[in-house]
């Protein structure tokens, strides 16, 4: 069965390009719709939970900046219409799964640094997304920085 709707999770770094390239190839060979999603993580998460100050203004700015970055990223891919770009706020795994379900996606594509050992314990979004995913997940191997 060919895939019908592919969701690519992008962190908006330069590493997105090989992930998008693979996603475009797959979307084209499967005649599938391609959507992208970027998740803005709550600032408090970076500080490990409770922060004794109001971060709402900063978070609003962070969200607006992410919207601009996503629009500029999508500008490189003219086939991506506005309703194929999604920006969400929350925990990446949870939001990527939610959006994949909501949009009826049958494949999620993420980049993977192929971490192992201690580095894996520190967290890999690819690994996280795989667990409990509502559909297939493809992890595109990213090259390690020189
Ligand atoms: P990481 O394991 O955090 O280095 O990220 C690996 C991959 O997870 C990236 O190439 C993206 O596909 C995905 N990813 C990481 N952070 C985000 C984010 N904030 N929004 C969407 N996708 C993300």
Q: Which of 37, 63, 92, 94 to mutate to test the pocket of ligand 1 (most atoms within 8 A of CB)?
A: 92
- pTM for the model: 0.90
Ligand 1: nearest atom to the Cα of 41: 19
69 burial via Cβ count (<10 Å: 0-12, 13-18, 19+): middle
Q: Which residues make Cβ contacts (< 8 Å) with residue 70, sequence separation at least 6? A: 10, 12, 36, 38, 85, 87
Residue 13 covered by a domain: yes
Residue 38 covered by a domain: yes
Residue 146 covered by a domain: no
Residue 77 covered by a domain: yes
Which CATH number fits the domain that encloses residue 32?
Answer: 3.40.50.620
User: What domain range includes position 28?
Assistant: 5-141
- Decide whether any atom of ligand 1 lies within 6 Å of the 93 Cβ: no
- Mean per-residue pLDDT for 87-114? 95
- For 104-125, the pLDDT digits (tens) are 999 999 999 876 666 666 668 9
State the Cα–Cα distance between residues 94 and 133, nearest whole angstrom. 9
Report the candidate in 46, 41, 43, 38 with the shortest Cα–Cα distance to residue 16.
38
pLDDT tier at 2 (50, 70, 90 boundaries)? very high
Residue 87 covered by a domain: yes
pLDDT tier at 4 (50, 70, 90 boundaries)? very high
State the Cα–Cα distance between residues 118 and 100, nearest whole angstrom. 30
Total domain count for the chain? 1
- Decide whether any atom of ligand 1 lies within 6 Å of the 111 Cβ: yes
Residue 135: pLDDT over 90? yes
Predicted local confidence at residue 58, as pLDDT: 85
């Amino acid at each position: 069965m060919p895939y019908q709707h592919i969701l690519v999770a992008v962190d908006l770094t330069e590493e997105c390009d090989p992930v998008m390239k693979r996603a475009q190839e797959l979307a084209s060979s499967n005649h599938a719709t391609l959507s992208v999603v970027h998740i803005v993580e709550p600032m408090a998460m970076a500080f490990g939970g409770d922060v004794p100050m109001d971060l709402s203004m900063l978070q609003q700015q962070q969200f607006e900046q992410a919207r601009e970055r996503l629009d500029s990223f999508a500008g490189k891919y003219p086939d991506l219409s506005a309703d194929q770009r999604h920006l969400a706020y929350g925990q990446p795994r949870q939001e990527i799964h939610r959006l994949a379900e909501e949009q009826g996606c049958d494949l999620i594509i993420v980049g993977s640094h192929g971490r192992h050992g201690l580095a894996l314990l520190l967290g890999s979004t690819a690994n996280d997304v795989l667990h409990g995913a509502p559909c297939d997940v493809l992890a595109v191997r990213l090259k390690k920085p020189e």
